[in-house]
Chain A
């Protein structure tokens, strides 16, 4: 999966304006070509080892496990990647592909800023010009990451339209791409968008699951009983899930952001509470109203605050291979504090959703079982948000 035209069942596809059909096809061919080239893979592997710092550890969170009082919890430490999140796995791959295609300029969209930082980082490393689109509201929430991108030499463009968050940044990046297709490579940050993006980003992120599989087997000589990851667009989740899809003994759990609660209308849980529709180049589960207009979403985590989800997740939900649940703002913040205090690891708010769900699941499964939670990023970027919740001004 996907099929030759980029469909995962009824999901995926290439729902873009005619101007982008040419560039999307050019990218598909370039990626197919690169995929067959051992040197492309070798270069990515070298970069992941030397620049990103892979492999990341699989860490037994013993104090958290003991506190939760159930299954043993392991953390896949993507927070230890260079730039502090899994996002860099993907940007390394796409930036190397951009250079291979002879595109000197890369653009990206970002919500929490992690994908923007990762794009700016690899652009600096490879000598590419970088422009990052970011919702004005997200820029306010993620000031430090905005400065970080600028330090790395990227131009950060505030997006004032719509809800001024991730989806609007995506719209703006697509507009830039339409206007500058000749010299520009669009680095999409998640497993969404027109084919081949969902497949390509998944391939680049699958290193997470491949390592997890090997590490679990060498440490415990078995596979985990469950794997848990948060889902906004869903790239860290598909990255850790994908190498386990054929292992039926491994339960896979995706965790969406329930914001104030999925019944309140103020959330970002498109798989749990949305319906199939078309946005940003693919058919997938979406948060849209009864007239087909996209709804403004809410999550305390800017990285999960997106009204859609990658099409492969939509397909995995419908065929039942992955269970999708949700965690609200309050429970995510509790988990954020819990992990910080018990393990000395401050997680990203995105990852805190997975931690909260993982704690529930550990209790449900009970002792003698192993759960891996993907710790997709570190929480430095979220200091202001969490402090503000407690009325503290930094």
Chain B
């Protein structure tokens, strides 16, 4: 069983939703990433999404774009992202790590070389925002062969037929984009997202993660009631940047940010579980 499968199996048994933070490699500083990843896990993260900086991140909002620009200015490249995962694995062999980014750096490295290096570094899954299933015919099988999951997105604009197809194709988990917009946009409608997830479950048995638009404990808790994973990026990235500017250790800030989210998600689920137990008695 892959690390992602194992993690979701354990969470399901415990009746918990996964908490998945996103951080940009090399931001707020090149040497901070590995410490931030460990701090996130200590504070209750179940999986880490690691951004691969790209010069033209069209699907990301201003916060993540700026983080990518800072990381690139500091010299962070795809090889550094892989190196961060390698170092993270020295101390943590269990927490799944997903790489998230854009296709061009991967293609320029060469998809064969990238897949081999990612597998060797201890990466578990890859999400390339600008590589939908139709354009992944080369990369997806390569990743699968190497034992890595290719994570696909489903959006509110995804047709029913495509949802079915993506549900079949995907592995690891399905990433549901909670709103029409880029990362960091506001206005998440939890009830609508819950409805979409119900529909999506008809097409796949995979765990369903929800991202985009989750910015605080309250939205995280609401989404954690019905999603298998709650993914949070922009507000964490913004917080880490702010911490670094104020001279605070970003790893410490990452932990502070994560803990209340963990509690809120578990609390909401706990209330849910307690209610069910009462009803059964």
Contact = CB atoms under 8 A, between A and B. Distances in A.
A281 interface: yes
Interface stretch (B8-16, B130-138, B190-198): B130-138
B24 interface: no
B108 A14 contact: no
A37 interface: no
A127 interface: no
B61 A175 contact: yes
B69 A17 contact: no
Interface residues of A, number: 40
Nearest to B52: A292
Given A18-B153, A162-B56, A292 B105 contact: yes
Given A175-B182, A291-B77, A15 B131 contact: yes
B205 interface: no
A283 to B, nearest CB: 8
A22 B180 CA distance: 11
Given A22-B157, A293-B105, A178 B181 contact: yes
Given A181-B157, A278-B130, A19 B177 contact: yes
A95 to B, nearest CB: 23
Chain A at the B interface: mostly helix, strand, loop or mixed?
mixed
Interface string A318-333: 0000000000000000
A375 to B, nearest CB: 32
A265 interface: no
A120 B133 CA distance: 35
Given A17-B130, A18-B177, A292-B78, A278 B157 contact: no
Interface string B55-91: 1111101100100010010000111000000000000
Interface in A270-319: 275-281, 286, 288, 290-294
B155 interface: yes
B134 A19 contact: no
B59 A292 contact: no
Interface residues of B, number: 42
Nearest to B101: A292
Given A278-B103, A279-B104, A292-B105, A17 B55 contact: no
Interface string B115-128: 00000000000000
A158 to B, nearest CB: 14
B20 interface: no
Contact of A14 (B61, B104, B135, B156): B135
Interface string B230-255: 00000000000000000000000000
17 contacts: A13-B134, A17-B59, A17-B132, A17-B155, A18-B158, A19-B157, A22-B157, A167-B56, A178-B182, A179-B181, A179-B185, A278-B104, A279-B56, A288-B108, A290-B108, A292-B109, A293-B104
